[in-house]
């Protein structure tokens, strides 16, 4: 098999890239190791930055998002049993975010790709990228019981944190930057209308909690739990009791309970792989960087990477200049590090480490008080949350 761009992975990065290339008249083939059902139902992100919303619309993939997505103009910070609302449009000159689940973004992009785009092969597992530093890189993959080779002009590794593409970058050229956190998130999906109309980020001495949503009738909630926690260690009742404690306010706010339909634990890490390009192999999304989910940045970063690649390749096709392709890694990494910084700040602002001292507890509350009391600090949070612009 032969194509212009071989894309490994059909998460949001790979699927959107295939769509952007299709719109630019550039051929691609997507290889995805899992089946369609799995990819369409993997519970993950929920928040799309304004820039991501604009990109999906411009790519012709925004119709259902515009009908069913929920525009959010703010979030609530909760600490010391008090509530503080951060008003995004007022602080950022009109920006907001959209609650529209990653599962739905993927469903929309898969439907478009199968109807209009190039090949998208499910249960096609990439085994290795070869010849990344040559003029004709290849992806070896297994499909329908046999091994095959995809010959390409470019390969984009959109295969997530556990993917294989990255391994083709020589170790001596690679630098990895990492921060692990001694806690994870226990996430649940529940059949109950969200108890608040905006997301609530709560700092509590017992740990962080987040109230989010998937629709007007489905809530998504998270609890900070110790690293290594098994979701099955928590009964449904224990989860609701703990959420209630962490969200408690002095003004009698109530958390409504419902049937829990899913629960799982996500570890938390900050992680960056540099460079994001080697020869004709480009890395995009979680294959190149991970942020802790507190800043809601992972999916949005993946979108930024593939927009940058699609623009650079289009420019090369139109002008013959590889200037933008050559700048890919640097261009992406500037934005990636801003998102790493923001996600780290949000994480350390709101989570309680197991060895936190009373001094650190007071500092966290002082940082939150500063955001609630100083427009400059609040603006910084609102700008970070609604997103850093694409260059
Ligand atoms: P993905 O989504 O992991 O997709 C990678 C795809 O590659 C496939 N694959 C392979 N295919 C072929 N051959 C191989 N050898 C392969 N190896 C892997 C995989 O099956 C998969 O389909 O990466 P991508 O596209 O870079 O997208 C990244 C996002 O999924 C991720 O950053 C976000 O989900 C992070 N995230 C959030 N991001 C946000 O922007 N806003 C949020 O609100 C948000 N909340 C979250 C999150 C992630 C979470 N978890 C579970 C980590 C909340 C949570 C709990
Ligand atoms: C989600 O809805 O899954 C979600 C929202 C905001 C975050 C992380 C996850 O910061």
Structure tokens at 280: 């004709």
Calculate the alpha carbon distances from 314 to 5, 24, 103 in Å.
12, 7, 28
The CA–CA distances, whole Å, from 150 to 35, 178, 233, 298, 313 equal 19, 32, 44, 28, 19
Task: Report how far residue 322's alpha carbon sits from residue 244's, in angstroms, rounded to the nearest whole number.
Answer: 55
% of the chain exceeding 90 in pLDDT = 97
Q: In whole angstroms, give the CA distance from residue 142 to residue 35.
A: 14
> Can you read off the two tokens belonging to residue 3?
């194509």
User: What is residue 389's predicted lDDT score, i.e. its pLDDT?
Assistant: 79
Q: Is the CB of 293 under 6 A from ligand 2?
A: yes
pLDDT above 70 covers what percent of the chain? 100
Calculate the alpha carbon distances from 309 to 80, 114, 170 in Å.
45, 22, 21
**How far is residue 283 from each of residues 103, 216, 276, 279, 327, measured CA to CA in Å?**
22, 36, 5, 11, 13
| Smallest-distance ligand from the CA of 208 | 2
Cα 80-293-67 angle, rounded to 5 deg: 100
pLDDT at 391 over 80: no
Identify whether 351 is a catalytic site residue: no
Predicted confidence band at 59 (pLDDT cuts at 50, 70, 90)?
very high
- This prediction has a pTM of 0.96
Q: Where are the domains of the chain?
A: 5-73+96-177+269-345, 181-268+355-386
> How is 176-194 classified by DSSP, letter by letter?
EEEEEEEEEEEEEEEES--
**Alpha helix positions (H), the chain:** 12-23, 36-41, 50-58, 63-68, 88-92, 102-116, 236-247, 298-319, 323-326, 328-350, 358-373, 375-386
- CA distance linking residue 301 with residue 390, whole number of Å: 10
For the segment(s) 5-73+96-177+269-345, the CATH number from 3.50.50.60, 3.90.1170.50, 3.10.20.340, 3.20.20.100 is: 3.50.50.60
Catalytic residue among 181, 201, 278, 328: 201
On whether the 181-268+355-386 domain is CATH 3.30.360.10, my answer is: no
| pLDDT, tens only, 169-195 | 999 999 999 999 999 999 999 999 999
- Structure confidence at residue 43 as a pLDDT band (50, 70, 90): confident
pLDDT at 45: 85
Q: What does the pLDDT look like over 79-94, one tens digit per residue?
A: 999 999 999 999 999 9
What is the best residue among 6, 10, 11, 268 to mutate for testing ligand 1's pocket, by most ligand atoms within 8 Å of CB?
11
- For residue 216, the number of C-alpha atoms closer than 13 Å in the C-beta half-sphere is 4
Q: Cβ distance 99 to 210 under 8 Å?
A: no
Domain 5-73+96-177+269-345 identical in fold to domain 181-268+355-386: no
What digits encode the pLDDT tens for the residues 193-234? 999 999 999 999 999 999 999 999 999 999 999 999 999 999
- Is 293 a catalytic site residue? yes
Known catalytic membership, residue 196 = no
Interatomic CA distance for residues 349 and 64, integer angstroms? 35
Give 189 Cα–ligand 2 centroid separation in angstroms: 12
Query: Peptide bond before 312: cis, by omega within 30 degrees of 0?
Result: no
What pLDDT digit, counting tens, does each position of 75-134 carry?
Answer: 999 999 999 999 999 999 999 999 999 999 999 999 999 999 999 999 999 999 999 999
Which one from 154, 293, 328, 351 is the annotated catalytic residue? 293
Report phi then psi at 135, rounded to 5.
-75, -15
The per-residue pLDDT for 16 is: 98
Which pLDDT tens digit goes with each residue over 258-307? 999 999 999 999 999 999 999 999 999 999 999 999 999 999 999 999 99
pLDDT of 163 above 80: yes
* Pair 166, 251: CB distance under 8 Å: no
User: Which of 27, 166, 45, 28 has its CA nearest to residue 106?
Assistant: 45
Distance between Cα 300 and ligand 1 center (Å)? 11
DSSP, res 2: B
Distance 30 CA to ligand 1 centre (A): 15
Q: pLDDT at residue 46 above 90?
A: no
Mean pLDDT of the chain: 97
Q: Using a 6 Å cutoff on CB, does residue 48 contact ligand 2?
A: no
How far does the centroid of ligand 2 lie from the alpha carbon of residue 293, in Å? Answer: 7
């Amino acid at each position: 098999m032969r194509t212009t761009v071989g894309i490994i992975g059909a998460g949001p990065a790979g699927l959107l890239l295939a769509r952007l290339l299709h719109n630019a008249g550039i051929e691609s083939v997507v290889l995805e190791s899992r089946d369609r059902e799995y990819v369409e139902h993997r519970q993950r992100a929920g928040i799309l930055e304004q820039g991501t919303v604009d990109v999906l619309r411009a790519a012709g993939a925004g119709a259902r998002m515009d009908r069913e997505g929920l525009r959010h103009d703010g979030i609530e910070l909760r600490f010391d049993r008090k509530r503080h609302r951060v008003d995004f449009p007022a602080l950022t000159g009109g920006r907001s975010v959209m609650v529209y689940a990653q599962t739905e973004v993927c469903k929309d992009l898969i439907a478009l790709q199968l109807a209009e785009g190039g090949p998208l092969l499910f249960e096609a597992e990439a085994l290795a990228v070869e010849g990344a530093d040559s003029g004709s890189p290849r992806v070896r993959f297994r499909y329908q019981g046999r091994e095959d080779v995809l010959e390409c002009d470019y390969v984009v590794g959109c295969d997530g944190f556990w993917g294989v593409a990255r391994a083709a970058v020589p170790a001596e050229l690679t630098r990895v930057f990492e921060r692990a956190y001694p806690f994870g998130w226990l996430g649940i999906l529940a059949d109950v209308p969200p108890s608040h109309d905006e997301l609530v980020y709560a700092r509590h001495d017992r740990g962080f909690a987040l109230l989010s949503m998937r629709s007007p009738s489905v809530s998504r909630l998270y609890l900070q739990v110790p690293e290594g926690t098994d979701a099955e260690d928590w009964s449904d009742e224990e989860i609701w009791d703990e959420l209630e404690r962490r969200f408690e306010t002095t003004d009698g706010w109530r958390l409504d309970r419902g049937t829990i339909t899913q629960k799982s634990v996500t570890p938390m890490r900050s992680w960056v792989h540099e460079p994001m390009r080697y020869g004709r192999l480009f890395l995009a999304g979680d294959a190149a960087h991970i942020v802790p989910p507190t800043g809601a940045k992972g999916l949005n970063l993946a979108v930024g990477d593939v927009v940058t690649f699609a623009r650079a390749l289009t420019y090369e096709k139109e002008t013959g200049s590889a200037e933008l392709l050559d700048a890919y890694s640097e261009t992406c990494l500037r934005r990636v590090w801003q998102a790493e910084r923001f996600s780290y700040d949000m994480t350390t602002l709101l989570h309680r480490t197991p060895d936190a001292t009373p001094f650190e507890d007071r500092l966290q509350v002082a940082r939150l008080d500063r955001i609630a009391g100083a427009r400059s600090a609040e603006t910084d949070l609102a700008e970070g949350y609604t997103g850093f612009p694409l260059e």
